[in-house]
Amino acid sequence: MYAIVDIAGQQFKVEKGKKLYVNRLEATEGSSLEFEKVLLIDNEGKVKVGAPTVKGASVSAKVLSHLRGDTVIVFKKKRRKGYQKMNGHRQYLSQVEIEDINLK
């Protein structure tokens, strides 16, 4: 059984027990969350597609940790002008573990 869920503006394919990194969530480490924006559920071949969401479906998850992602280097250059600009960015992430997919 798997589901397609909208978490913080991004879509993820989730299964029970799967760990994934999402954009930083406003929740403390160790707390449980409930995601209501379930777009699709596949229950052993029986597919339910929402319009836009599946009614009565939710995904429960647990926040494992808050961390920062790898550095992304942003380098800008204009040739023959002597212009160079280097910048770095690290995205704030939350690691969540999917506990259950609920279908009512």
User: Residue ranges per domain, the chain?
Assistant: 2-103
Do residues 37 and 29 lie in contact, with contact meaning Cβ atoms separated by under 8 Å?
no
Q: Return the closest-CA partner of residue 14 out of 104, 103, 100.
A: 100
What is the tens place of the pLDDT at every residue in 28-82? Answer: 999 999 999 999 999 988 999 999 999 999 999 999 999 999 999 999 999 999 9
Span between the terminal Cα atoms of the chain, in Å: 14
What is the pTM (predicted TM-score) of this model?
Answer: 0.83
Q: Are 20 and 95 in contact (CB under 8 A)?
A: yes
